[in-house]
Amino acid sequence: MNVSGRIALVTGGSRGIGRAIVCSLAAAGAKVAFVYQSNREAAEQLAAEQNALGHEVWAIQADVSQRAEVDSVVEQVLAKWNKIDILVNNAGIIRDSLLLAMSPEDWQKVIDTNLTSVFSFCQAVLRPMMSARYGRIVNMSSVSADFSNPGQANYAASKAGIEGFSRCMATEYAKRGITVNCVAPGFIETDMTTAVVNAAGDKIKSKIPVKRLGQPSDIANAVLFLASEESGYITGQVLKVDGGLTLGGTG
């Protein structure tokens, strides 16, 4: 899959799925800037590891829920590399609680981080992508957009919103050479899912036809394809990477 010479920007890139995406894009030849919010040590370690391999990877600290910081990130990348070919909106958080107990602050923080950041970054990269008449945008959704989980009204709403947003954007900018797609992970082994997996790992696996949890690399491989030259006739789609979980059977 060809991303050689491309400039990629990845949000939520220091750990888990984001880290795997950064490594995958860099290994495939892209120069990668990634955004992290708080874990400077993990971010700097990732950048150092990749640069030691001969890849160009750059860590930028920012709060993706703040539009001024989003604009600053995009301006920094354009100043350094003159273009942005690939945008991967991966940043996301959870603040789970049943609806009656969910605070307005927890609702808004999830929406701002998971959904509004996608709008902000997409809008910020549009002009340079339109000028180049080329762009690959991959937005991270979740199977939670389609399947209800108690306590995740804010998270599910943010992910369903990402899918609707992506379809609209894909329609508006296809003629400009910009594709917009979503990847919807199932149960993936990351820091975010550790507590759930520890509590119900075997039960979860029994519901997945392939009988295993996903790895960050499974998601990174899907993102790499949608970010590549070879995916140019695919736009407005949601690619579920869930081991068959959403098929509804037990395998």
List, by residue number, the catalytic residues: 155
How far is Cα 172 from Cα 4, in angstroms, rounded to an integer?
27
CA angle 55, 222, 184 (to 5 degrees): 125
**Range list of H helices, the chain:** 16-27, 40-52, 67-81, 104-110, 117-132, 153-173, 194-206, 216-226
9 strand-pairing partners: 33, 87
- In this structure, what DSSP letter does residue 116 have? I
- In this structure, what DSSP letter does residue 175 have? G
Coil, strand, or helix at residue 194?
helix
Q: Are 39 and 14 within 8 A, CB to CB?
A: yes
How far is Cα 124 from Cα 74, in angstroms, rounded to an integer?
7
Q: Are 37 and 63 within 8 A, CB to CB?
A: yes
Amino acid identity at 197: V
